[in-house]
Amino acid sequence: MEKFMTNMRNQFGDRIIFISAREKENIDNLRELIKTEVEIKYKIRYPYKTQYW
């Protein structure tokens, strides 16, 4: 499993989060990553509304 995770990180970069639905591991990390990505995209798409975000 560690080899798979290392391979995926090398292929797609550091923005990969492995989660476990059964054990509910890394769900909070995934939420934070999604929130950060949405904020970045929102600022690019709506630069005149970023002060209200």
How far apart, in Å, are the Cα atoms of 51 and each of 14, 40, 43, 47, 48?
A: 29, 13, 9, 8, 7
Domains identified in the chain, total number: 1
* Residue range 6-27, pLDDT digits in tens: 898 888 887 888 888 899 899 9
Domain boundaries, position 30: 2-52
* Separation of alpha carbons 50 and 42, rounded Å: 7
For residue 7, the Cα-to-chain-centroid distance in whole angstroms is 18
Please, which pLDDT band fits residue 50 given cuts at 50, 70 and 90?
low
Q: What is the mean pLDDT of the chain?
A: 86
Query: How high is the pLDDT of residue 30?
Result: 92
Q: Give the containing element (helix H, strand E) for 45.
A: helix 27-45
* Separation of alpha carbons 28 and 20, rounded Å: 11
